[in-house]
A and B are shown apart, each in its own frame.
Chain A
Amino acid sequence: MEITGRKLFVKGLLAEGVDTIFAYPGGMVTDILDELYKTTEIRVVLARHEQAAVHEAEGYARATGKTGVVLVTSGPGATNTITGIADARYDSIPLVIVTGQVNRSLIGNDAFQEVDIVGMVRSTAKDAYTVANREELGQRIKMAFYVASTGRPGPVLIDIPKDIQVASGSPDYPEEIHLRGYKPNTGVHIGQLKKAYKLLHSAKRPLILAGGGVRISGAQEELTALVNTMQIPVVTTIMGKGSISEDSPYYVGNAGMHGRYASNMAITHCDVLFSIGTRFNDRITGDLNEFASNAKIIHVDADTASISRNVVVDIPVVADARLALSKMNEWAEPMKTEAWISEIEGWQQKHPLLMRRDKGLSPQMIMGGIDRVFPEAIVTTDVGQHQMWAMQFLPVTKDRPMFTSGGLGTMGFGFPAAVGAKIACPDKDVIAITGDGGFQMNMQEMATAVTNDSPVIIVLLNNQYLGMVRQFQQFFYGKRYEITCLARRKGCPENCKGPSELCPPYEPDFMKWAESYGVEGLRVNAESDIIHALETAKANSRAGKSTLVEFDIAFDENVLPMVKSGNPIDDMILK
């Protein structure tokens, strides 16, 4: 018996194990929504903006390991997802984004709410296609889930014209799919890996650079075992933070633009750099000519195209991180690295990560409070200074993962990602660390949190500025704070160099804002109040209520060390 496209669509979702969709309604998806209305197994979460729906799906995907699903309408619904798609692509998050499309007979006519969304996301989605006919619908849905979740994971967009949603056709949903042009790497070239191991073992000053690929492949234990046996120090990228326990004696810290002094020095002075699951983004490498210039470089990555793109490597290994590391653990033998490790320790002592304590609340104190009150929680961050402080001062552990927008650097990511994570894991405390700039980009999602009984703890670091850019303006643009002050009004002095008692009031008043959602707002100005506020937030979270904790921090607090964009990474601004 034939069934409609919309029925097959829901059948496909169920076959793929989908239990939650982040969605926003619109004309071209009403048929699918009507079908979902009749389905009890799938929870449809109404976001308050399509971009946020995608970030929620990202948070959901990171928290569960499953593919996040988004359903939006054509036109503006579709275009609003683009930022989220690009974000998921950079950070390798498996998503299926379903967009409704106008009837096939109208495509190309500039119909109401018609856009060529497939054309628009061609360069950012892992794959994207408009379903051509009812016959291929099942195949296409299957393909979207398969491509999104295999190899280097990523977002796949599937655009379904409305007439296909209602057309009748085969009731069969394919059980498997074969794509002749898509073969994710599942093996590892043993000969090449052996060469890599030998080179690593021959090093006097070996260093491991671990990226997000280690986490994605679930290789944390394998990496830890290898490091413990071979006694090799480890530095991480933003996405790779937590690849090994931060308590490990071999862990140095994050590297790159705002990495630790010791991490960047270690990269510059190592003689073999074993990098795994990282793309060598420019925020990690700085000036490419100076990057690890004393080292032979080994690069293990699941994505062939990531190898030798930015940095020319000596030994490329195309492999899943976990597979490669477990193989290497079979060969691993201890190395003599005491002298090298004490040299790195010397760099740590010379410039430790510490913030001043003389100007009231410091971000380090706030992160310390979170660390103490929430040993187990899901933490998300937005993008900017607070994100870097979280990276510097809040350890990632097995029980406390941190989801951040690493590659695209999407302001507005953190809060909706937390809402998505909370919806995925209702029994966990979920904390969104955010700034007063990024939070305002998607704070409408408080309605999503409240209406879904998904309480989130918002830790808002308010410095009245778009701090990361303000910091750039302070260091490199003569303190000309063009449009980075969030309190600035028409009547303010032309060349304001910072806040004073003459400043107009800051809007919005986040306490009143929180109140309007029935959420508790707490404002913290003193170090002594940090723990109490966070404990209150924790109690609220467990009683089903969100809390916004606003920390007033100094406007001129900087993220240090800092490498000027394009400079060598050992050329750091330290104060």
Chain B
Amino acid sequence: MAGIMKKRWIALYVENEAGVLAKVSGLFSAKGYNLQSLTVGTTEHPDVSRMTICVSSDDVTFEQIKKQLNSMIEVIKVIDLTNVPIHMKEVLFAKIKQITSEEKAEVFRIAETFDVKPIDIGPDAIILESTLTERRNDELVALLRESFKHIDVIRGGAVAVEGISTSCR
């Protein structure tokens, strides 16, 4: 039954009440599902939250995950975002430390190439702020790790919205 492991995304509408986040995340650990990221925030309705969940799984397990989520009483709706047009973004901060002026210039070049913003700067450090896609952020992190020794990366997890006429993931 084991198939090919792929990254997949789900949007989840849930009741905005205590214990729901624990219940959803608890499902992933209890059943041994591979949770990559989970973000949550309230929607335009204060009593409803929306989660964006990224999992890595094969087809069969993914079907089971959706069914298990659907069977939770506090889950109002499960939307599979894997194969639909979506816009996806992830907030990322990268603090590059103990760098020379020469390396600083390199950070600026990378920032320009990736279209991310330097938002803070000191004598030997820079903070970059990114709202790229998750994959683009992966590439950015890979490059920063290759180029600099001392970096802190803070990632927020992806959020996604169904597209209207375009898609960006």
A, B bound: yes
Q: Are A119 and B64 touching (Cβ within 8 A)?
A: no
Does residue A180 face the partner (Cβ distance < 8 Å to B)? yes
Q: Are B1 and A303 touching (Cβ within 8 A)?
A: no
Does residue A112 face the partner (Cβ distance < 8 Å to B)? no
**In angstroms, how far is the closest chain B Cβ from the Cβ of A126?**
8
Given contacts A122-B22, A132-B18, contact A147 B73 (CB under 8 A): yes
Task: Kindly list chain A residues whose C-beta atoms are within 8 Å of the C-beta of B74.
Answer: 181
Given contacts A181-B74, A182-B73, contact A122 B26 (CB under 8 A): yes
By beta carbon, the residue of chain B nearest A306 is B67
By beta carbon, the residue of chain A nearest B65 is A305
Q: Are A181 and B19 touching (Cβ within 8 A)?
A: no
Does residue B134 face the partner (Cβ distance < 8 Å to A)? no
Task: Kindly list chain A residues whose C-beta atoms are within 8 Å of the C-beta of B14.
Answer: 181
Rounded to whole angstroms, the CA-CA distance of A288 and B2 in the bound complex is 12
Given contacts A123-B30, A304-B67, contact A179 B18 (CB under 8 A): no
Does residue A294 face the partner (Cβ distance < 8 Å to B)? no
Given contacts A305-B64, A305-B68, A312-B1, contact A119 B22 (CB under 8 A): yes
Task: Kindly list chain B residues whose C-beta atoms are within 8 Å of the C-beta of A129.
Answer: 19
Does residue B60 face the partner (Cβ distance < 8 Å to A)? yes
By beta carbon, the residue of chain A nearest B68 is A305
Given contacts A181-B15, A288-B1, contact A305 B73 (CB under 8 A): no
A interface: dominant SS: loop
Does residue B144 face the partner (Cβ distance < 8 Å to A)? no
Q: For this complex, into which size category does the number of interface residues on chain A fall? A: 20 to 34
Q: Are B76 and A180 touching (Cβ within 8 A)?
A: yes
Q: Are B73 and A127 touching (Cβ within 8 A)?
A: yes
Does residue A440 face the partner (Cβ distance < 8 Å to B)? no
**In angstroms, how far is the closest chain A Cβ from the Cβ of B20?**
10
Does residue A335 face the partner (Cβ distance < 8 Å to B)? no
Rounded to whole angstroms, the CA-CA distance of A118 and B17 in the bound complex is 14
Does residue A357 face the partner (Cβ distance < 8 Å to B)? no
Given contacts A179-B73, A181-B74, A182-B73, contact A308 B26 (CB under 8 A): no
Q: Are B64 and A308 touching (Cβ within 8 A)?
A: yes
Q: Are B71 and A303 touching (Cβ within 8 A)?
A: yes
Task: Kindly list chain A residues whose C-beta atoms are within 8 Å of the C-beta of B17.
Answer: 132
By beta carbon, the residue of chain A nearest B63 is A308
Q: Which of A119, A129, A130, A305 has the most B CB atoms < 10 Å from its CB?
A: A305
Task: Kindly list chain B residues whose C-beta atoms are within 8 Å of the C-beta of A118.
Answer: 19
Does residue B23 face the partner (Cβ distance < 8 Å to A)? yes
Q: Are A123 and B76 touching (Cβ within 8 A)?
A: no
Task: Kindly list chain A residues whose C-beta atoms are within 8 Å of the C-beta of B67.
Answer: 304-305, 307, 309
Within 296-340 of A, Cβ neighbours of B (below 8 Å) are at 303-305, 307-309, 312
Task: Kindly list chain A residues whose C-beta atoms are within 8 Å of the C-beta of B64.
Answer: 305, 308-309
Does residue B37 face the partner (Cβ distance < 8 Å to A)? no
Task: Kindly list chain A residues whose C-beta atoms are within 8 Å of the C-beta of B1.
Answer: 288, 312
**In angstroms, how far is the closest chain A Cβ from the Cβ of B62?**
11
Does residue B143 face the partner (Cβ distance < 8 Å to A)? no
Interface flags, B1-39, vs A, CB<8A=1, else 0: 100000000000011011100110011001000000000
Q: Are B72 and A181 touching (Cβ within 8 A)?
A: yes
Task: Kindly list chain A residues whose C-beta atoms are within 8 Å of the C-beta of B15.
Answer: 181
Interface flags, A91-126, vs B, CB<8A=1, else 0: 000000000000000000000000000110011000
**In angstroms, how far is the closest chain A Cβ from the Cβ of B32?**
12
By beta carbon, the residue of chain B nearest A123 is B30
Rounded to whole angstroms, the CA-CA distance of A288 and B60 in the bound complex is 14
Interface flags, B74-92, vs A, CB<8A=1, else 0: 1110000000000000000
Rounded to whole angstroms, the CA-CA distance of A309 and B1 in the bound complex is 10
Rounded to whole angstroms, the CA-CA distance of A308 and B15 in the bound complex is 28
Task: Kindly list chain B residues whose C-beta atoms are within 8 Å of the C-beta of A305.
Answer: 64, 67-68, 70-71
Task: Kindly list chain A residues whose C-beta atoms are within 8 Å of the C-beta of B18.
Answer: 130, 132
Within 43-71 of B, Cβ neighbours of A (below 8 Å) are at 60, 63-64, 67-68, 70-71
Task: Kindly list chain B residues whose C-beta atoms are within 8 Å of the C-beta of A180.
Answer: 76
**In angstroms, how far is the closest chain B Cβ from the Cβ of A213?**
15
Task: Kindly list chain B residues whose C-beta atoms are within 8 Å of the C-beta of A303.
Answer: 71
By beta carbon, the residue of chain A nearest B72 is A181
Task: Kindly list chain B residues whose C-beta atoms are within 8 Å of the C-beta of A119.
Answer: 22
Rounded to whole angstroms, the CA-CA distance of A438 and B70 in the bound complex is 37
Rounded to whole angstroms, the CA-CA distance of A324 and B34 in the bound complex is 35
Rounded to whole angstroms, the CA-CA distance of A241 and B94 in the bound complex is 62
Q: Are B76 and A181 touching (Cβ within 8 A)?
A: yes
Task: Kindly list chain A residues whose C-beta atoms are within 8 Å of the C-beta of B23.
Answer: 122
Question: In the complex, given contacts A179-B73, A181-B75, A309-B64, what are 16 additional A-B residue pairs having Cβ atoms less than 8 angstroms apart?
Answer: A122-B22, A122-B23, A122-B26, A123-B26, A130-B18, A132-B18, A181-B14, A181-B74, A181-B76, A182-B73, A304-B70, A304-B71, A305-B70, A305-B71, A308-B64, A312-B60
Please list the residues of chain B having a beta carbon within 8 angstroms of any beta carbon in chain A.
1, 14-15, 17-19, 22-23, 26-27, 30, 60, 63-64, 67-68, 70-76
- 21 A-B pairs with C-beta separation under 8 A: A118-B19, A119-B22, A122-B22, A122-B23, A122-B26, A122-B30, A123-B30, A127-B73, A129-B19, A130-B18, A130-B19, A181-B72, A181-B74, A182-B73, A303-B71, A305-B64, A305-B67, A307-B67, A308-B60, A308-B63, A309-B64
Q: Can you list the 10 inter-chain pairs with the closest CB atoms, starting with the nearest?
A: A305-B67, A123-B30, A182-B73, A181-B76, A305-B71, A304-B67, A181-B75, A127-B73, A122-B26, A305-B68
Please list the residues of chain A having a beta carbon within 8 angstroms of any beta carbon in chain B.
118-119, 122-123, 127, 129-130, 132, 147, 179-182, 288, 303-305, 307-309, 312
